[in-house]
Amino acid sequence: MSIFRRGRGGPARVTVREAAARTGHGGTADSSADAVLLDVRELFEWQAGHAPRAVHLPLSALAAGAGLPAHAQARPLIVICRSGSRSQRAAELLAARGAAVVDVIGGMRDWTKAGLPAVDAHGGNGIVA
């Protein structure tokens, strides 16, 4: 069953482990790692620490009508923020635009607590701001 199913309350939610597996951050070669990890935090948060290969598009820009970068269009999206609140809102906006989307429960806080990688703007070890 696909994780990109809609529940009664909107887009589905996934754990950081499910998100990592579907975006290629799980540490194993997974043929289902076809989704884009979309980070919707603001620039200073992104620069402090984000998942490698994640795509950055702040919720503020998304809400203002900004589109996805070309390489993220027409692909499943897994949306992440700091704790999971903004990503839920972003997932709702993207679902309304027709995207296959879920958001990550616990956000980057849970991502780093689970030992998943985070890098800063210079490629060093990232932190969650």
Residue positions annotated with a catalytic role: 81
**Encoding tokens for residue 55?**
């795509």
Residue 124: which residues within 8 A CB-CB, separation 6 or more? none
Q: Are 112 and 49 in contact (CB under 8 A)?
A: yes
Q: Are 40 and 62 in contact (CB under 8 A)?
A: yes
